[in-house]
Amino acid sequence: MKAIISGYGRMGHMIEAELNRQGLTLVAASEDICSTDPDIAKDCVCIDFTTPDAFRANYRTIARLFKAAVVGTTGWDDIRQEVCAAFAAEGKTLIWASNFSLGVNALFAAVARVCDVLKDQGYTPAISETHHIHKLDAPSGTALSLGRLVEQRLGVKPEIQAFREGEVPGIHTLTLESRLDRLSLTHEAFSREGLAAGAVLAAKMTDRVSGVHEFGELLLGTL
């Protein structure tokens, strides 16, 4: 597998380190992914961790040029259908996620089961998330995904609170409270390395899967 990183910020550097750790080939890291030579791009997986605006501007070109894409950029949920359709029309593989951390995806699976158990039992859900002050979106894409999952499985839309503090990599907590008790489920990232490891795992998956997929569905099966 050969990869080209779109967006060479903090996450781009961590993905580069993870690719090197696994002995995989990094062809390039680019802040202008649309200028990639098509003859090179056609054999590479594009790993995109940019900004919502950049991805919105670039996704059609990524779908056209690259053999596959892994997208960890968030903030484009309103155009998800258009993005998925663009990759499907080109016959290219897309794996996307609001969070590529294996631990977060395990949290999603646990939350789905807990909500199934507590549905219609008088529990009120609430979500809080805390990230570093450099994060552009609030609430985080992970918190929004968690909220959609809770609403789908519990039948109640949770309130989401977002906090920005220092250099916190990411903390997500779901609280379910009734008149009888309170249940809390929390994932705390120690660094962004977990996101990089998951993104590289997804890139490796593109060698054996085709089509458009959410990472958690591939990792754990449909929730």
CATH code for the domain of 116: 3.30.360.10
Q: State residue 135's pLDDT score.
A: 86
Backbone angles phi, psi at 35, to 5 degrees: -90, 5
Catalytic residue among 2, 67, 135, 204: 135
Give the model confidence (pLDDT) of 122-172 as tens digits: 999 999 999 999 888 899 989 999 999 999 999 999 999 999 999 999 999
Q: In terms of domains, do 138 and 181 share one?
A: yes
Contact 131, 98 (CB under 8 A): no
Q: In terms of domains, do 76 and 7 share one?
A: yes
d(C-alpha 23, C-alpha 141), whole Å: 30
Q: Is 172 a catalytic residue?
A: no
State which residues form the domain around 163.
102-188
Return the closest-CA partner of residue 94 out of 60, 125, 130: 60
Q: In terms of domains, do 110 and 178 share one?
A: yes
* CATH at residue 8: 3.40.50.720
Statement: residue 221 has pLDDT above 80: no
Catalytic residue among 92, 131, 172, 187: 131
User: Residue 184 CA to chain centroid, in angstroms?
Assistant: 22
Count structural domains, the chain.
2
Backbone angles phi, psi at 136, to 5 degrees: -85, -30
d(C-alpha 87, C-alpha 103), whole Å: 28
Give the model confidence (pLDDT) of 44-71 as tens digits: 999 999 999 999 999 999 999 999 999 9
Q: In terms of domains, do 125 and 49 share one?
A: no
Statement: residue 86 has pLDDT above 90: yes
Q: In terms of domains, do 90 and 112 share one?
A: no
Q: Is 204 a catalytic residue?
A: no
Q: In terms of domains, do 175 and 204 share one?
A: no
Whole-prediction pTM: 0.86
Q: In terms of domains, do 96 and 108 share one?
A: no
Give the model confidence (pLDDT) of 179-189 as tens digits: 999 999 999 99
Q: State residue 75's pLDDT score.
A: 87
